[in-house]
Amino acid sequence: MDKIAIPSTLRLGPAPGFVANVYPARRPLDGGARALLLYLHDGGFTGGSLEAARSRCEMLADAGADVVTLDYPLAPEHPFPAALGAAFEALQALAAKPARLTGSAQTLMFVAGEEAGGNLAAALALMARDQRAPELAGQLLISPMLDPVLGSASMREGECGGCECIYAKGWQAYLGNNTRADHPYAAPLNARRLSGLAPALVLGVAGHPLNDEARRYAAALREHGVSAKDLTLPAIAPGYVLAPVHEFLSQAARQALTPPSA
């Protein structure tokens, strides 16, 4: 498929809905299933856009996912839980009739996001479990923002975490008066109940301020019995990402489609 083709656009959720772009998968998954992936962009809860997310979405499409990226509402005008609510409505809309986008009855739902979008994707997995719908086959978290405390070693080494750093400003805008900072949907790393979640692939970048909390979340998922793999990469670039993401999508789809043993 032509990599410079303009993605198609649709609206998701209750009318008038939220604008989203669609990137069809550019390679098949092992086993013939299709992965329909809702991707949430980065931007520290206050920035980012569909256009800025384009390179990431094309990369995920190259890895085998049919990607839908959402133009979710931004803080501080729309603090928690506005973006999460919009993302969940979009996820429900996609899960209602996934074959409309993929053309396949064997379509599995995934959530994914980077930085603030990784926070939203992790929270979506929690919501989907708690509400028992929609059923997710997996979650892909890229350098996710998960802990508003900002006290990790990687934060200190990156000279981040102070009140003027981009992550502190983003958290302040998203949480408002901070009375919801301990809500598991706002800060998934603080969640006490992580069992029953969809399998996860958590990608971090060596030397990145968010790397420690990404690895901590993957470890916490494993402690609660969730299949979770974390990788620390030199960069989030096709040469490092395509193979592990393709493998994750394929394995998660096979697992979701395999009937439980008697």
What's residue 5's pLDDT? 62
**DSSP state for residue 31 in the 8-state scheme:** T
259 domain residue, yes or no: no
**Distance from C-alpha of 133 to C-alpha of 24, rounded to nearest angstrom:** 24
Residue 82 lies in a domain: yes
pLDDT tens by residue, 245-255: 999 999 999 99
How does pLDDT run across 183-208, given as a tens digit for each residue? 999 999 999 999 999 999 999 999 99
Strands 65-70 and 107-114: unpaired
105's enclosing H/E stretch is none
Domain assignment present for 200? yes
In the chain, the percentage of residues whose pLDDT exceeds 90 is 89
Q: What is the pLDDT of residue 182?
A: 84
For residue 76, the one-letter residue type is P
Show the tokens assigned to 133: 């719908």
Let me know if residue 1 belongs to a domain. Answer: no
Q: What is the DSSP letter of 76?
A: T
Please classify residue 40 by burial: count the beta carbons closer than 10 Å to its beta carbon, then call 0-12 exposed, 13-18 middle and 19+ buried.
Answer: buried
DSSP 213-236: HHHHHHHHHHHTT--EEEEEES-S
For the stretch 3-16, pLDDT in tens is 456 789 999 999 89
What are the CA-CA distances from residue 250 to residues 79, 94, 106 (Å)? Answer: 35, 20, 12
**H/E element, 113:** strand 107-114
* Residue among 58, 52, 129 at smallest CA distance from 91: 129
DSSP secondary structure code for residue 198 in this structure: P
Q: What angle (nearest 5°) sits at the alpha carbon of residue 70, between those of residues 172 and 37? A: 115
Within a domain: 262 = no
Domain containing residue 51: 8-254
**What's this model's pTM, rounded to 2 decimal places?**
0.96
Residue 260 in this model has a pLDDT that exceeds 90:
no
The residue-averaged pLDDT of 142-167 equals 91
pLDDT at 45: 98
Q: Classify residue 261: in a domain, yes or no.
A: no
Task: Determine the average pLDDT of the residues in 36-49.
Answer: 98
Q: Is residue 260 part of a domain?
A: no
Q: Mean pLDDT score of the chain, rounded to an integer? A: 94
Q: Cα-Cα-Cα-Cα dihedral of 115, 120, 126, 128, to 10°?
A: -140
Has residue 87 been placed in a domain?
yes
pLDDT tens by residue, 21-32: 999 999 999 999
User: Which pLDDT belongs to residue 188?
Assistant: 96
User: 215-243: per-residue pLDDT in tens?
Assistant: 999 999 999 999 999 999 999 999 999 99
Q: What would the pLDDT profile of 111-137 be if each residue is shown by its tens digit?
A: 999 999 999 999 999 999 999 999 999
Residue type (1 letter), 214: A
Q: In total, how many domains does the chain have?
A: 1
* CATH code, domain with 241: 3.40.50.1820
